[in-house]
């Protein structure tokens, strides 16, 4: 039997069933109806509950979650091996992932999450659906890692001084709460491209382009149903330095987080149901 964590799948089933009876229902409306079914005020409230339970409530421009039912077994790893992994890894120009000796990592602006070894180089989290793979040099020190969460995100290792520079720069952006140049225009291009089924992958980092290509069959109908963009509203700067926007469409609304890299291409993009 399905529970509230299956809400998105239920919303899709509802749309398909009503569509077969020539009763149109937008993606946003179906999400809101499912939220009411579970006794929640709106989809955002239900989405927060799903995320708290370790589910994925957003519709990310990224790869899907790992297949359900995977059982991971924790193993013991020598402290010396773990010492070779501790350090700082660059997620983006706005965010750093800190791997600490206590076996957990910390993203800029986020709480720490514990990771457990399932091999000498592979680690998994229990709180969230995420795994980490370390890339090791001959001396046993990690030179980079790959975060497996909403796609595969390679991160080079950086020194403490570089990590501090990134953290300070992001903190200043969060303090000022001003949009980065170009994010609104890039967001419009992204939405229009995905909705048409022909996003400009050259306007994205390779990792985001690969994730968007994989998710396009789900993202395209979602954004197409919402219709043309009527307005965008900047809401602020998120904890990882991403710009947050509310987008009003002809048939509903969407909520976005977007960031650009130093060359002006999109490095981060997340969408959830509006407002």
What is the average pLDDT across 242-263?
93
CB 91, CB 106: distance < 8 Å: no
pLDDT for 229: 96
Element (H, E) at 96: strand 96-99
Q: If we measure between CA atoms, which residue out of 67, 21, 63 comes closest to residue 213?
A: 63
Give me the pLDDT at residue 46, please: 62
Proportion of the chain above pLDDT 70, given as a percent: 74
**Distance between CA atoms of residues 216 and 24, nearest Å:** 22
Read off the pTM: 0.62
Task: Encode pLDDT of 146-199 as tens digits.
Answer: 988 767 788 899 999 999 999 898 889 889 899 999 999 999 999 999 999 999
pLDDT above 90 for 254: yes
Average pLDDT, the chain: 81
Measure the CA–CA gap between 125 and 109, rounded to whole angstroms: 18
Q: How far apart are CA 113 and CA 129, in angstroms?
A: 11
Q: Which residues contact 175 (CB under 8 A, 6 or more apart)?
A: none
Select from 80, 78, 105, 92 the least CA-distant residue to 242: 92
Which stretches of 30-95 are assigned E, i.e. beta strand? 59-60, 87-90
Between CA 237 and CA 258 the distance in angstroms is 10
Phi/psi of residue 50, each to 5°?
-65, -45
pLDDT at 94 over 60: yes
For residues 66 and 227, the model is more confident at 227
If you average pLDDT over residues 64-71, what whole number do you get? 52
pLDDT of residue 236: 94
- Bigger pLDDT: 216 or 67? 216
Q: Could you tell me how far CA 62 lies from the centroid of its own chain? A: 7
Over residues 103-149, the pLDDT tens digits come to 566 555 566 888 989 999 999 988 888 899 999 888 888 999 998 87
């Amino acid at each position: 039997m399905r529970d509230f964590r299956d809400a998105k799948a239920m919303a899709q089933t509802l749309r398909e069933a009503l569509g077969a009876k020539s009763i149109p229902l937008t993606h946003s409306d179906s999400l809101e109806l499912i939220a009411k079914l579970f006794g929640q005020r709106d989809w955002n409230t239900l989405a927060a509950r799903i995320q708290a339970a370790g589910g994925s409530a957003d519709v990310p421009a990224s790869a899907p979650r790992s297949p359900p039912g995977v059982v991971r077994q924790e193993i013991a790893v020598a402290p010396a091996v773990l010492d070779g992994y501790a350090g700082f890894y660059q997620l983006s120009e706005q965010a750093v992932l800190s791997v600490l000796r206590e076996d957990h990592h910390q993203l800029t602006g986020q709480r720490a999450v514990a990771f457990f070894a399932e091999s000498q180089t592979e680690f998994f989290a229990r709180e969230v659906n995420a795994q980490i793979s370390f890339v090791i040099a001959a001396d046993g020190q990690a030179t980079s890692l790959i975060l497996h969460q909403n796609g595969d995100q390679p991160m080079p290792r950086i020194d403490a001084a570089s990590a501090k520079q990134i953290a300070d720069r992001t903190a200043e952006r969060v303090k000022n709460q001003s949009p980065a140049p170009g994010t609104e225009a890039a967001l419009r291009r992204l939405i229009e491209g995905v909705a048409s089924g022909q996003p400009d992958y050259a306007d994205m980092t390779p990792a985001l382009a690969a994730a968007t290509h994989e998710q396009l069959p789900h993202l395209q109908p979602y954004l197409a149903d919402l219709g043309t963009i009527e307005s965008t509203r900047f809401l602020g700067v998120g904890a990882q330095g991403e710009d947050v926007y509310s987008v009003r469409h002809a048939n509903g609304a969407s909520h976005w987080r977007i960031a650009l890299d130093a060359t002006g291409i999109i490095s981060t993009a997340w969408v959830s149901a509006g407002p």
